[in-house]
C-alpha cells in the first residue's frame, strides 16, 4: 500500500495528500516532522537523505520532493485526469509547477515564516512590508497571466494546479494586505468546493503560530 510520511499541516505534504485524495488511492499517512520529530532517524534518512517531509513509498518506489511525488502519483494513477494525455497540457502544468516552486512558494514561505512563525515581538516590519509587496507582485503576475480557463492547463484539474492552489489557502486567509485578484479568488473558490482540497489543504495552521516562551 502507498505510504506517505509527513504531518498534515505541512504545505508540501498537503500537495501530496490532495493529489492522493483526488486520485482515490488507498494509502496510509504517518505523522512525521514538526512536533512529531523523527526526521533524523535512520529509517527516515534511508528514505529521504535530506531528512525532510514529504516522502512516499509506493510498493518499493521511494520518492521525496513534493512536486516529484505529485507528478509520479498523477502519472501512475491519474492518466487522463490529473495527468493529461496531451503533452502540451502537461508542459503548461510543468511550467507553472516550476514557477510555483522557484518563485511563488519561495517568497510566500518567507512571508509566512517571518509573519506567522516568528513571535510578534520579533517582527521585522520593514522585511514584512517587502515580502508582502513581493507576494502581491507574484500573485498579481499570476492573475494577469492565467487567462479565463478554470484550471491552469485548461478545462480540467491537473497536477499543475496543485502546487499553486495549495498556496491559496494560507495566502487568502492570512491577515495581510492583498491586491485585487478576482480570477485567483474564483479559482480558489472552485478549489474550496472540492472535498479533497477542503480536507487536506484547508487545514488550520494556528498551531504553527510562534509565541515567545512564557
Ligand X SMILES: N[C@@H](CCC(=O)N[C@@H](CS)C(=O)NCC(=O)O)C(=O)O
Residues that bind ligand X (CB under 6 A): 10-12, 33-34, 39, 52-54, 65-67
What is the nearest approach in angstroms of ligand X to the Cβ of residue 204?
16
Q: Which is nearer to ligand X, 34 or 150 (CB)?
A: 34
Contact criterion met (CB below 8 Å) for 25 and 73: yes
What is the nearest approach in angstroms of ligand X to the Cβ of residue 4?
12
What is the nearest approach in angstroms of ligand X to the Cβ of residue 207?
12
What is the nearest approach in angstroms of ligand X to the Cβ of residue 75?
17
Question: Of the candidates 190, 158, 151, which has an alpha carbon nearest to the alpha carbon of residue 79?
Answer: 158
Q: Which is nearer to ligand X, 65 or 143 (CB)?
A: 65
Q: How far is CA 133 from the centre of its chain?
A: 21
Minimal CB distance residue for ligand X: 33
- Locus of grid cell 509506493: 58
Cα(187)–Cα(166) distance, integer angstroms: 11
Q: Which is nearer to ligand X, 49 or 182 (CB)?
A: 49
Cα(189)–Cα(6) distance, integer angstroms: 26
Cα(130)–Cα(169) distance, integer angstroms: 21
What is the nearest approach in angstroms of ligand X to the Cβ of residue 122?
20
Q: Which is nearer to ligand X, 97 or 181 (CB)?
A: 97
For residue 14, give the C-alpha cell.
Answer: 498537503
Q: Which is nearer to ligand X, 37 or 179 (CB)?
A: 37
**Helix pair angle (161-173, 105-115), 10° resolution:** 30
CA atoms within 13 A on the CB side of 177: 8
Collapsed DSSP state (helix, strand, coil) of residue 29: strand
Amino acid at each position: 500500500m502507498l505510504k506517505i510520511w509527513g504531518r498534515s499541516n505541512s504545505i508540501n505534504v498537503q500537495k501530496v495528500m490532495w493529489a492522493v485524495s483526488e486520485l482515490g488511492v488507498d494509502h496510509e499517512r504517518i505523522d512525521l516532522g514538526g512536533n512529531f520529530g523523527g526526521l533524523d532517524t535512520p529509517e527516515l534518512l534511508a528514505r529521504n537523505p535530506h531528512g525532510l517531509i514529504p516522502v512516499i513509498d509506493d510498493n518499493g518506489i521511494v520518492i521525496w520532493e513534493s512536486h516529484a511525488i505529485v507528478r509520479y502519483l498523477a502519472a501512475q494513477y491519474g492518466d487522463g485526469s490529473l495527468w493529461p494525455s496531451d503533452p502540451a497540457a502537461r508542459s503548461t502544468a510543468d511550467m507553472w509547477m516550476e514557477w510555483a516552486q522557484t518563485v511563488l512558494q519561495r517568497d510566500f514561505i518567507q512571508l509566512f515564516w517571518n509573519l506567522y512563525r516568528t513571535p510578534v515581538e520579533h517582527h521585522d516590519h520593514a522585511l514584512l512590508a517587502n515580502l508582502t509587496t513581493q507576494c502581491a507582485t507574484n500573485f498579481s503576475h499570476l492573475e494577469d497571466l492565467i487567462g479565463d480557463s478554470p484550471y491552469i492547463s485548461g478545462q480540467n484539474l491537473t497536477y499543475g494546479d496543485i502546487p499553486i492552489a495549495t498556496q491559496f489557502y494560507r495566502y487568502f486567509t492570512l491577515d495581510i494586505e492583498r491586491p485585487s485578484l478576482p480570477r485567483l479568488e474564483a479559482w480558489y473558490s472552485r478549489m474550496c468546493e472540492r472535498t479533497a482540497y477542503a480536507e487536506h489543504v484547508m487545514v488550520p495552521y494556528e498551531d504553527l503560530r510562534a509565541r515567545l516562551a512564557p
